[in-house]
Chain A
């Protein structure tokens, strides 16, 4: 029972991290990163090969550095960032949002095929297994207590990353990203280096993807191509859209509802007699349905993007001006013709 609960806790916090990373890219900056799960996979694999020793027989992989936790995970996060630089240089400079999305999907398919078929990299279709479980030796953990401890460690990591992300999204940096999302031409006309800003957003988001992936491979002890089918990107998008694009707390709510309750909880339900695997099919369908219903009825998500009020900038309100401005009603209140092509 404890095992079940803490498995759910792990996935809750891990997807909270993943969703925050996608949120800064898509929710804040408007980059439709349909290759997101590719960055998660790079983080997972690189964490794996950074942590594993170089001499495990029966598996083929690069590096094998034997780094301890959390250095291996950090290495995974940085590797995902390195991939973001490459991807951004290929795609961001030249492409508009819609084309960018298509190119990113293609890139993630290429990466997938490559990892699946090129065995020397990450052991091909078999993937990595027997990945060392961190902290077990040091704390003398067994299989079950490891789950409890690692779920808590993931929770702490998630809270730290949330603190950092909240600071970034509330800062002028976050505002510049949202300006680019709303109208990149205007942002450019105001002196924002749009490419540089988008690159920053990609890098920060990819770091979160990489860390989330790194925690994933260590929790399960293995990672292979079935864990990151390109469709998995849309699960993270579902978390983001249900929770509320542009809101970090929303990412937690989304992770709780979509990842924990819809995807993982049903796996613990007893099988329906005579229909093995049916529950699994039902819950993927359920994610799709929930996504559609949300987009129709509440596209801003359960916890919509926050309005950052003037008082939060430390300048006191001056209600007397509010009152004085009513005098301008005859200027501003009158119906205004749509500002169209001028003299026509």
Chain B
């Protein structure tokens, strides 16, 4: 494929980490998602924007397997993952966070991270009973990496705290750190900056850029268009469950009248925040 591109002299083709087409999902007659279709380019940060109730979270739920779609298809790279169970999708390297932080409350902050690697020797009863050395070694390696991540995500001090005791901002950080601990190829962040103070928004923005630099593809739901402008390479606009437009922020601005009217509304909503 790349050879063909080279001979044609065209710019290198962008590869899509994720692609979905014709997704629909209705809740008791309410069409939350109604034909959404878009691509998430690999190695970039994509924003999924749209007004409240546009179906953004529902789309993430479908992509990550937390919900099944009524119709439509999802591809992760070349693999079709439509309506796979969540755990299988996670094992393919697609990790997601939740709009309302969902910490594993009874586990410590460190344990929240240790729970993240999908496949662990110590999840098997046979290994636990008969290969304790292997299990202990893997635990120590994972713990070392988890503690490094906690240091980066400013939660090291709280490593032994039960996660339910964290503040709202700390839970937001834990949510991201836990997904990162699972070594994602593609990370779907559902409003990672919602409800946190401005200083922390800056910090989280840096974390997301760092993830991109380390090769992780990111898609994030975000209402604040200032942030989208600043850190996102690609934007998908969702409205009433449909993809209204895709492109860079500047492309979207110069898009058709209908779209700009719509985007204007979104921008106003964003500015109000």
Q: What is the CA–CA distance of A181 and B108 in the complex, to the nearest angstrom?
A: 14
CB of A60 within 8 Å of the partner chain: no
| Closest-CB distance, B78 to chain A (whole angstroms) | 20
Instruction: Check A338/B107 contact, CB under 8 A, given A172-B139, A186-B98, A191-B182.
Output: no
Residue among A307, A343, A344 facing the most chain B CB atoms (10 A cut-off): A343
Q: What is the CA–CA distance of A341 and B132 in the complex, to the nearest angstrom?
A: 45
Residues A292-344 near B (CB distance < 8 A): 305, 307-310, 313-315, 318, 321-322, 325-326, 328, 330-332, 334-344
Is A188's CB under 8 angstroms from B102's CB?
no
Closest 9 CB pairs between A and B?
A191-B118, A172-B122, A343-B223, A191-B90, A339-B195, A313-B143, A342-B194, A188-B86, A336-B169
Is A332's CB under 8 angstroms from B154's CB?
yes
| Closest-CB distance, B200 to chain A (whole angstroms) | 5
CB of B232 within 8 Å of the partner chain: no
Segment touching A, from B15-23, B68-76, B157-165: B157-165
CB of B135 within 8 Å of the partner chain: yes
CB of A204 within 8 Å of the partner chain: yes
| Closest-CB distance, A90 to chain B (whole angstroms) | 19
Residue in contact with B139 in the complex, picked from A314, A342, A344, CB distance below 8 Å: A314
CB of B230 within 8 Å of the partner chain: no
Is A339's CB under 8 angstroms from B172's CB?
yes
Q: What is the CA–CA distance of A340 and B147 in the complex, to the nearest angstrom?
A: 28
Residue in contact with B167 in the complex, picked from A175, A183, A192, A332, CB distance below 8 Å: A332
Residue among B86, B114, B156 facing the most chain A CB atoms (10 A cut-off): B86
| Closest-CB distance, A151 to chain B (whole angstroms) | 27
Instruction: Check A173/B125 contact, CB under 8 A, given A191-B90, A192-B118, A344-B52.
Output: yes
A to B CB contacts below 8 Å, 29 in the list: A168-B128, A171-B122, A171-B128, A172-B123, A173-B124, A173-B125, A178-B104, A185-B86, A186-B102, A189-B90, A190-B95, A191-B87, A191-B91, A191-B117, A192-B123, A310-B110, A310-B159, A314-B140, A315-B143, A315-B144, A315-B147, A325-B151, A331-B197, A332-B170, A334-B197, A336-B200, A339-B168, A339-B172, A341-B194
The residue on A at minimum CB distance from B195 is A339
Residues on the A chain within 8 Å of B169, using CB: 331-332, 334, 336
Residues on the B chain within 8 Å of A335, using CB: 197
Residue in contact with B86 in the complex, picked from A175, A181, A189, CB distance below 8 Å: A189
Residues on the B chain within 8 Å of A338, using CB: 168, 195
Residues B102-135 near A (CB distance < 8 A): 102-108, 110-111, 114-125, 128-129, 132, 135
CB of A251 within 8 Å of the partner chain: no
Residue in contact with A185 in the complex, picked from B52, B102, B143, CB distance below 8 Å: B102
* Contact digits for A145-183, partner B, Cβ 8 Å, 1 yes 0 no: 000000000000000000010011001110110110111
Measured CB to CB, the residues of A under 8 A from B are 164, 167-168, 171-173, 175-176, 178-179, 181-183, 185-194, 197, 200, 204, 246, 305, 307-310, 313-315, 318, 321-322, 325-326, 328, 330-332, 334-344
Q: What is the CA–CA distance of A309 and B199 in the complex, to the nearest angstrom?
A: 30
CB of B261 within 8 Å of the partner chain: no
| Closest-CB distance, A248 to chain B (whole angstroms) | 15
| Closest-CB distance, B116 to chain A (whole angstroms) | 5
Interchain Cβ contacts within 8 Å, total number: 195
Measured CB to CB, the residues of B under 8 A from A are 52, 64-66, 85-87, 90-91, 95-96, 98-108, 110-111, 114-125, 128-129, 132, 135-136, 138-140, 143-144, 147, 151, 154, 156-157, 159-160, 162, 167-173, 178, 182, 191, 194-197, 199-200, 203, 223-224, 269-270, 272-273
Is A342's CB under 8 angstroms from B87's CB?
no
| Closest-CB distance, B46 to chain A (whole angstroms) | 18
The residue on A at minimum CB distance from B64 is A189
Q: What is the CA–CA distance of A342 and B272 in the complex, to the nearest angstrom?
A: 12
Residue in contact with A182 in the complex, picked from B106, B136, B154, B269, CB distance below 8 Å: B106
| Closest-CB distance, A174 to chain B (whole angstroms) | 8
Is A179's CB under 8 angstroms from B223's CB?
no
Q: What is the CA–CA distance of A325 and B159 in the complex, to the nearest angstrom?
A: 12
Q: What is the CA–CA distance of A331 and B199 in the complex, to the nearest angstrom?
A: 5
The residue on A at minimum CB distance from B92 is A191
Q: What is the CA–CA distance of A322 and B156 in the complex, to the nearest angstrom?
A: 7
Is B196's CB under 8 angstroms from A337's CB?
yes
Is A336's CB under 8 angstroms from B168's CB?
yes
Residues on the B chain within 8 Å of A322, using CB: 156-157
Residue among A167, A176, A191 facing the most chain B CB atoms (10 A cut-off): A191
| Closest-CB distance, A152 to chain B (whole angstroms) | 25
| Closest-CB distance, A211 to chain B (whole angstroms) | 16
Is B98's CB under 8 angstroms from A173's CB?
no
Instruction: Check A331/B87 contact, CB under 8 A, given A171-B135, A192-B118.
Output: no
Residues on the A chain within 8 Å of B117, using CB: 191
Is B108's CB under 8 angstroms from A308's CB?
yes
Instruction: Check A190/B98 contact, CB under 8 A, given A336-B169, A338-B195.
Output: no
Is A175's CB under 8 angstroms from B115's CB?
yes
Is B132's CB under 8 angstroms from A167's CB?
yes
Residues on the B chain within 8 Å of A191, using CB: 87, 90-91, 117-119, 182
